[in-house]
């Protein structure tokens, strides 16, 4: 791996773990195994390197999401696969983490790739939901944009619940609840004592 790639990868990991303020140039260089002048040789400074790292994270997450949402299967199955895909729930979302970072949000340049990714993902999910609504996979009254936002809110909120409880079970419970709400009426799981 080239020195710029090592610097970007180290920054990506540190941003996820520590946030922008906690990601010092010294920590980046140590993790990358790079010399003291390396960062400034390849990047204009920490903000430039952080921007490259955020863009790469967003690009990787977009590819991962598209691999699931563009796969074969019914729209409901693709949404389910997206919600149930393997995640490190106790670590949280690398993009979601950045939305809680005051320094990232205060910088239009650093915030842009975060917002662009989330906007793309909402749109992509909305298109799958609309496709499912047209095919009868989802209730006819569902709005694709609203459901896409609900899916994102469930994922991000699931991370928060899992991290707070120290258990991935909280994330899984949120996902199961949303999937039960989205399932066609005949496919919804029966609840004991209710009905």
In the block, tokens 């029966």 appear at 190
Write down the pLDDT at residue 96: 93
Cα→Cα distances 61→7, 107, 142, 149, 184, Å: 19, 21, 26, 17, 29
Cα→Cα distances 9→29, 49, 52, 179, Å: 11, 10, 10, 34
Band (pLDDT 50/70/90 cuts) for residue 192 is: very low
Question: How far apart (Å, rounded) are the C-alpha atoms in residues 109 and 185?
Answer: 45
Mean pLDDT, the chain, rounded, equals 92
Question: How far apart (Å, rounded) are the C-alpha atoms in residues 114 and 171?
Answer: 22
pLDDT score of 194 more than 80: no
- Consecutive H or E run containing 110: helix 108-135
Write down the pLDDT at residue 189: 53
* Domains in the chain: ranges and CATH: 54-185 (1.10.357.10)
Write down the pLDDT at residue 186: 55
* Mean pLDDT score, 23-46: 91
* pTM (predicted TM-score): 0.89
Let me know how long the chain is. Answer: 195
- The angle, 0 to 180 degrees and rounded to 10, between the axes of the packed helices 25-32 and 46-69 is 60
Band (pLDDT 50/70/90 cuts) for residue 55 is: very high
Say how many C-beta atoms besides its own lie within 10 A of residue 4's C-beta: 17
Band (pLDDT 50/70/90 cuts) for residue 40 is: confident
8 Å CB contact between 19 and 101 = yes
Q: State pLDDT tens for residues 65-124.
A: 999 999 999 999 999 999 999 999 999 999 999 999 999 999 999 999 999 999 999 999
């Amino acid at each position: 791996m080239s020195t710029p790639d090592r610097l970007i990868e180290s920054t990506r990991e540190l941003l996820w773990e520590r946030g922008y303020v906690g990601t010092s140039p010294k920590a980046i260089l140590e993790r990358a195994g790079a010399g003291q002048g390396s960062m400034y040789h390849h990047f204009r400074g920490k903000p430039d390197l952080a921007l490259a790292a955020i863009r790469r994270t967003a690009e990787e997450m977009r590819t991962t999401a598209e691999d699931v949402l563009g796969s074969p299967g019914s729209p409901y199955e693709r949404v389910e696969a997206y919600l149930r895909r393997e995640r490190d729930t106790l670590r949280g979302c690398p993009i979601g983490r950045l939305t809680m970072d005051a320094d990232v949000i205060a910088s239009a340049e650093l915030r842009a790739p975060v917002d662009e990714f989330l906007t793309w993902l909402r749109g992509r999910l909305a298109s799958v939901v609309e496709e499912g609504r047209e095919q009868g996979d989802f209730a006819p009254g569902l709005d694709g944009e609203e459901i896409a936002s609900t899916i994102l809110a469930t994922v991000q909120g699931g991370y928060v619940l899992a991290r707070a409880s120290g258990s991935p079970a909280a994330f899984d419970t949120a996902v199961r609840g949303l999937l039960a709400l989205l399932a066609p009426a005949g496919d919804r799981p029966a609840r004991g004592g209710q009905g």
